[in-house]
Amino acid sequence: MVGSAGHGDTSAGAQVVTASILVIGDEILSGRTADVNVAHIARRLDDCGIRLREVRIVPDAQDRIVGALGALRGAYDYVFTTGGIGPTHDDITADAVAACFNVAIFVDPRAVDELRKRYSEDELTPARMRMARIPNGAALIENEVSAAPGFMIGNVIVMAGVPRIMQAMLERVLPRLRHGARMLSLSLTVPRPEGEVASPLAETQSRCPDVAIGSYPFVEADGRLAVNIVLRGPDAQRLQRVADALAGSLGELGIAVESCSQS
Amino acid sequence: MVGSAGHGDTSAGAQVVTASILVIGDEILSGRTADVNVAHIARRLDDCGIRLREVRIVPDAQDRIVGALGALRGAYDYVFTTGGIGPTHDDITADAVAACFNVAIFVDPRAVDELRKRYSEDELTPARMRMARIPNGAALIENEVSAAPGFMIGNVIVMAGVPRIMQAMLERVLPRLRHGARMLSLSLTVPRPEGEVASPLAETQSRCPDVAIGSYPFVEADGRLAVNIVLRGPDAQRLQRVADALAGSLGELGIAVESCSQS
């Protein structure tokens, strides 16, 4: 519903903070691993009033990472990357980020200190030391699960791909970011096919352009089609008024709303 | 591991067929709905020897859909879109695709025939007729779940967002596409942190550049770090030989492979 991808949009006077996600990993594209990080990050950003506007998934190939990162970091306030910061030969995210920012990358003593919290000197193999290679000028993002840190450079936040580690890093970094006005949502479930509610929905949307109205069909357990109607906006009272008006229009067509929940 | 995004690459003499996915939907970006279509499509493309090389998720905004579609359809053999072809005001994918191909869009009698299989004349409301709007020159992709068809125009395959409907459309369209040499994979599970296997992995990868070796750490139920090593290539015997060599190198370091499976 919201078309602009730019920085610093304003909506109802509140500053809009935008973000994108870059998932890096052959294993997601081959279907071997189902990504669960996007859904988690999307929910947490929504909690913080940060609007996720685009996601890209690319392979473990430097040119592809650099290309996508260049496009995303110019278009959104923040870019979150997941994957490719481990100790093995296919972990090339840190190098790609350094190339994208045109900065040097070296073993960072602060990152080595983090690794020492977990590993003895014997265990600090060259492979593990690879996880301490951080682009020049980046701030570390510690994590208590694996000890190997992520980092933030400019508006790019680089995190692990393993969900538990990624989640720990995300919680560390979210308080450091600008947050926006939280989008509230109000969902109506209607046990009818989407086609039967389309006309009152379109009418309500055109009368109330300040509330984003989405319509999400689903198949019920018994095979019947139903629809979730989701109203989104920053003002709870306004959402409730628009929902009441919509329920009224549906009622005129003999269509009852099954449930209504606000979040 | 595989860097090129272009059409018609050749690898070991076999033609490589490439694809991308464009997921369209505010509900995925807001975190309200977790996408499950990417993982499903990725697995089915892998079965068909079609290499998925990029995924993008964009909002329900025409400029964003047209922009992403333009980039993807120029870079890959096929683009699969999901979402935004229902009957409501926020379903704008068909219009965006028509705009991208610069063709007219109108109510297609073939699509109306499909809808008539499910709906009586009374039930064919203007909203439902909206689902019969198909860009000029497109081939329909029938589906038995909802009756409303998807379509294929040029190298772009337009499917529903509801997983059951999308899956039905995907099975209809896959036989019409070019398939490539199937990538086989062989997975080794090693109950040790990734850092301990990195050196033999890198060594094996540099000796065997024809096999793509990926390393995917995970956290075991008891909290210990372990790693799946995945070898991918078109030749099963070659994969097995490389896996045996790798297991040998790991054995020299006192590291045993816990399980090995081919698919």
Residue A9 has a pLDDT of 43
| Cα–Cα distance for residue pair B22/B68, rounded to 1 Å | 8
Helix (H, G, I), strand (E, B) or coil at A120: coil
* Whole-angstrom distance, CA of residue A150 vs CA of residue A170: 10
d(CA B142, CA B150): 6
Condensed to tens digits (0 to 9), the pLDDT of residues A38-81 reads 999 999 999 999 999 999 999 999 999 999 999 999 999 999 99
Q: Which residue's entry shows tokens 């296997």?
A: B197
Strand A50-58 and strand A17-24: the pairing is parallel
pLDDT at B263: 75
- Measured distance CA(A230)–CA(A81) in Å, rounded: 28
The one-letter code for the residue type at B146 is S
B139 Cβ partners below 8 Å, 6+ apart? B151, B152, B153, B176
User: Helices A62-75 & A93-101, crossing angle to 10 degrees?
Assistant: 50
On the question of pLDDT at A238 being above 80, the answer is yes
pLDDT tens for A199-217 read 999 999 999 999 999 998 8
Nearest C-alpha neighbor of B62 from the set A76, A4, A29:
A4
Chain B residue numbers with beta carbons less than 8 Å from the beta carbon of A125 are 195-196, 198-199
How many angstroms separate the CA atoms of B237 and A219, rounded? 44
Contact B212 A31 (CB under 8 A): no
Contacts of A60 in chain B (CB under 8 A): 1, 214
From chain B, pick out residues whose CB is under 8 angstroms from the CB of A123.
195
Q: Residue A38 is inside which H or E element, if any?
A: helix A37-47
In terms of phi and psi (left: phi > 0; alpha: psi -120 to 50; beta: otherwise), the region of A144 is: alpha
**Strand pairing class (A259-262; A184-190):** antiparallel
Binary contact (A42, B52; C-beta < 8 A): no
Contact predicate B115/B131, CB 8 Å: yes
pLDDT tens-digit series, residues B151-182: 999 999 999 999 999 999 999 999 999 999 88
Give the pLDDT of residue B218.
86
| A108-162 pLDDT per residue, tens | 999 999 999 999 998 898 889 999 999 999 999 999 888 899 999 999 999 999 9
- Is this structure's pTM higher than 0.80? yes
Contact present, B60 and B193 (Cβ < 8 Å): no
Weakest-pLDDT range from A92-96, A99-103, A197-201, B13-17:
B13-17
Which residue of chain B comes nearest to A32, CA vs CA? B43
**The pLDDT of residue B2:** 35
| Measured distance CA(A31)–CA(B40) in Å, rounded | 7
Whether residue B172 contacts residue B142, with contact meaning beta carbons closer than 8 Å, is answered with: yes
A261 band by pLDDT with thresholds 50, 70 and 90? confident
Instruction: Give me the pLDDT at residue A5, please.
Output: 39
* Cβ–Cβ below 8 Å for A87 and B195: yes
The CA distance from A235 to B217, in Å, is 43
- Do the interacting molecules here have an ipTM over 0.85? yes
**A127-163: buried (b, 16+ CB within 10 Å) or exposed (e) per residue?**
bbbbbbbbbeebebbbbebbbbbbbbbebbbbbbbbe
Average predicted confidence (pLDDT) for chain A: 91
- Nearest CB partner across the interface for A57, out of B54, B213, B232: B54
Contacts of B206 in chain A (CB under 8 A): 89
Nearest to B2 by CA among A201, A210, A25, A221: A25
- Residue of B18, B24, B88 to mutate, interface with A, max A Cβ within 10 Å: B88
- Residue B107 three-state SS: strand
Q: How far is A138 from chain B (nearest CA, A)?
A: 23
Asked if A82 and A23 count as a contact pair (C-beta separation under 8 A), the reply is yes
Question: Which chain B residues have a beta carbon less than 8 Å from that of A90?
Answer: 1, 205, 213-215
Per-residue pLDDT of chain B (263 residues; tens, 9 = 90+): 333 334 444 444 458 999 999 999 999 999 999 999 999 999 999 999 999 999 999 999 999 999 999 999 999 999 999 999 998 888 999 999 999 999 999 999 999 999 999 999 988 988 899 999 999 999 999 998 888 999 999 999 999 999 999 999 999 999 999 999 888 999 999 999 888 899 999 999 999 999 999 998 888 888 888 999 999 998 999 999 999 999 999 999 999 998 888 87
Task: Residue B102: name the closest of B60, B135, B151 by CA.
Answer: B135
Residue B140 near residue B111 (C-beta atoms within 8 A): yes
Whether the pLDDT of residue A8 is over 70: the answer is no
Give pLDDT, residue A263: 74
Residue type, B170: L
